[in-house]
Amino acid sequence: TNMTDHDIDRIITYKLAPINVSVQTMNPQLRCRMLHNRFAGEALKKMRRLYEAGITMNGQIVLCKGINDKEELERSIRELTEYIPHMQSVSVVPAGLTRYRDGLYPLEQFTKQEAAEVLQMIHRWQETCMEQFGMHFVHASDEWYLLADQKLPPEESYDGYVQLENGVGMLRLLQDEFREAMRAQETCLPRQDTISIATGELAAPFIRTLTQEFMQRYPQKNIQVFAIRNDFFGEQITVAGLLTGQDILRQLKGKPLGERLLLPCSLLRSGEEVFLDDMTVEELKKALQVKIVIVNSNGQDLYDAFME
């Protein structure tokens, strides 16, 4: 909505791609209401211009319960398939609800059953798109599978992980890379020690599964996973990337953390060793009196951190 026709002309002239589009809905009237902008519906025409110019795009739909889900989601996916092949993927992610919502629309979280219904629709459209276009096209973020308590789809379902930065396939890739790293180090004999991991409540059960696999192979290792509750933004925020240093400190203070504490890199501001609440990694290290290791979001780095 903040791009002029001149901006679109420049994208087309210089063939800038891929362009990431926050679609939300293909219903122009609903899009105006969702974005609280009377011009938001007109912005969909700019997407049509990019398509006609052959500009590669990726779309995202942030799904809000009772607003752009169900029939509206069905409509959005159906109409977006008309933009294939230049629209190469569309991700569907659930809206994150913080506790700072005074005066805002009363959004609700999706239940386990509702998450399963979203996945059912997406899987049906994936089958259709594979038959017609040879690609899955529409993808559910990892959160839907965790919410619905369903198994992650296989690697080939992600079309080369085209929307990894939106949390689409991140856990599948992490799991596959981690298991591959273990297979590649069959003769390694790590020393005995205790390690702790802090992560969000949503991913904690998944991470525990990986640690159990690791400890079955290396019983001399003791790895404990702490699911950190998000008091800063609200308990409904369960992803690791929005945890703060103060929440980690309060919930781990006095706990036996072992020789080192592993934290995912998504907790930190880009390029800095600083949490979202301005606490530094060094400050947390001193407060907890434990070595802190920042782990990149891939399975090899996680395995290496376990093995030190």
Mean pLDDT of the chain: 94
- How many helical (H) and strand (E) elements, i.e. helices and strands, does the chain have? 11, 8
Copy the structure tokens of residue 191.
């020393």
CB 93 within 8 A of CB 141: yes
Give the pLDDT band (50/70/90) at residue 153. Answer: very high
pLDDT tens-digit profile of 181-209? 999 887 777 788 999 999 999 999 999 99
Among 14-18, 91-95, 237-241, which is the least confidently predicted range?
237-241
Question: Percent of the chain, pLDDT > 70?
Answer: 99
What is residue 104's predicted lDDT score, i.e. its pLDDT?
Answer: 77
Dihedral of alpha carbons 13, 15, 20, 26, sign: positive
What is residue 295's predicted lDDT score, i.e. its pLDDT?
Answer: 95
pLDDT tens-digit profile of 103-115? 778 889 999 999 9
CB 179 within 8 A of CB 214: no
Any idea what DSSP says for residue 274?
Answer: B
Residue where the block lists tokens 């809905």: 25
60: pLDDT strictly greater than 80: yes
User: What's the average model confidence in pLDDT over 62-85?
Assistant: 97
pLDDT tens-digit profile of 24-58? 999 999 999 999 999 899 889 999 999 999 999 99
